Every structure is written in structure tokens, then in C-alpha cells.
């Protein structure tokens, strides 16, 4: 399902700072020494808390997926990974260094094929590697992972929602309930409606 705008507010906030922290240092003298990992103020405190929370959740989700993949018998195959590549034509921002465009064009990559993997149950394969969730101290650098930082952190939220839904359904199954409770006319009762509003479907 699509991840709701409410759920991605923290990745969006982090992604915004990933885009503007560097240019702010270059374009506005009072921010010349800005380091969002150390800057004082409640807004920066909340930013650091959100960043730490998503990094922690990434580690927990990674451990869950590994446990599922290692302990259960493979039942089907799925295509995992693969990329569409990075086009050679890129947009260079006004604040980029003169050679920044050449660096980006040089980083163009061809598409990569997906890998056929044996799986025991469905789970998303969109979670990025931990190294792509850069520390806040790197937000004023020229690191390639600052590009699309919001998308990278949003993968944590999307995978977390799917994990939580899977755990919820497993608990219902172990309790002997394999479908939402139904009324006399076949309409889903409250529990079914609550599941339909689960974050994984939003």
C-alpha cells in the first residue's frame, strides 16, 4: 500500500534538511558553521530524535526480515532488487560547485537486473541498506545519499507498517481467527474495519 502523508512526516523533515543544510551554509553567513547534529534548540532536538528513531527502527526491521528469511521454509520465488539506473543528464543547482555537474554525470549507472530469491512469506524488499541513512553530521557534505534522502528514510516507515500488519495477522491466526468478524448480513464488524485502516494499507 501507499504510505500516508502523516506517517512520512519525519522522513520528509529529515529529507528537507538533507537538501537545504549544505546550501544554507554557503548562501547565508550566519549559518556558515551550521551542524544540525549539534545545533541547539527544540526544533533540532526533535529532528535528532526523529533521525535516531528511524535509524533504530531500521535495525529492528532488518533483524525481523533476517529472522523470517532464515527460519522458515521457502514457499515461492520473487524478484528482488534491480534498478532503473541513473541517467547521465542531471540538473545542477545554482549553489553547486562548478565541477558538481561533471561529478554527477560521471556517476551515471546502467540498469541492474533483479535477483530471483526464494522466500517463505511476502514482505517488502524496499528497505535501503543502513549506510544509506546518513548521520546528521553528513548533511552538509556532498555525499550521494543526500539525494532522495526522504525516499530512503521513508522505506523504514513503509517496511515498519508491513511488519506490524504481518505480526497482527499472525496473532489473529494463532488465536483461530483467519478473517475479520462478520455480521448477520456479511458486513465486516469493527475489528475488520480497523484492519482496513491499518497503516500498511494507507
pLDDT at 169: 83
Averaged pLDDT, 85-105 = 57
Tens of pLDDT, residue by residue over 175-194, are: 654 444 445 555 545 555 55
CB atoms within 10 A of CB 156: 26
111 within 8 A of 87, measured Cβ to Cβ: no
* Greater pLDDT, 18 or 171: 18
Query: Percentage of the chain surpassing pLDDT 70?
Result: 61
Give tens-digit pLDDT for 26-64. Answer: 888 888 899 999 999 999 999 999 999 999 999 999 999
- The three grid cell numbers given for residue 157, joined into one nine-digit string: 516507515
Taking residue 44's Cβ as centre, other Cβ atoms within 10 Å add up to 17
Query: Mean pLDDT in the chain?
Result: 78
Decide: 11 and 150 in contact? Cβ < 8 Å: yes
pLDDT band for position 68 (cuts 50, 70, 90): confident
pLDDT, residue 190, reads 54
0.75 surpassed by pTM: no
Predicted pLDDT of residue 178:
45
The helix/strand/coil state of 127 is: coil
pLDDT of 97 > 80? The answer is: no
- Packing angle, helices 9-27 and 42-71, rounded to 10: 130
Q: CA-to-CA distance for 136 and 64, rounded, in angstroms?
A: 26
Amino acid at each position: 500500500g501507499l504510505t500516508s502523508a502523516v506517517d512520512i512526516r519525519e522522513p520528509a523533515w529529515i529529507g528537507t534538511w538533507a537538501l537545504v543544510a549544505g546550501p544554507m551554509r554557503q548562501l547565508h553567513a550566519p549559518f556558515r558553521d551550521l551542524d544540525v547534529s549539534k545545533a541547539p534548540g527544540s526544533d533540532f532536538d526533535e529532528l535528532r530524535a526523529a533521525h535516531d528513531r528511524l535509524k533504530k527502527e531500521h535495525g529492528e526491521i532488518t533483524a525481523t526480515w533476517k529472522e523470517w528469511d532464515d527460519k522458515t521454509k521457502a514457499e515461492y520465488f520473487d524478484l528482488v532488487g534491480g534498478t532503473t539506473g541513473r541517467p547521465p543528464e542531471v540538473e545542477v543547482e545554482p549553489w553547486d560547485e562548478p565541477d558538481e555537474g561533471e561529478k554527477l554525470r560521471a556517476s551515471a549507472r546502467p540498469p541492474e537486473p533483479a535477483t530471483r530469491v526464494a522466500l517463505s512469506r511476502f514482505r517488502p524488499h524496499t528497505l535501503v541498506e543502513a549506510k544509506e541513512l546518513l548521520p546528521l553530521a553528513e548533511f552538509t557534505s556532498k555525499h550521494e545519499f543526500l539525494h532522495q534522502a526522504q525516499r530512503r528514510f521513508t522505506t523504514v516507515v513503509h517496511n515498519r507498517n508491513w511488519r506490524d500488519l504481518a505480526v497482527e495477522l499472525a496473532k489473529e491466526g494463532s488465536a483461530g481467527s483467519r478473517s475479520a468478524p462478520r455480521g448477520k448480513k456479511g458486513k465486516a464488524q469493527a475489528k475488520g474495519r480497523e484492519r482496513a485502516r491499518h497503516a500498511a494499507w494507507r
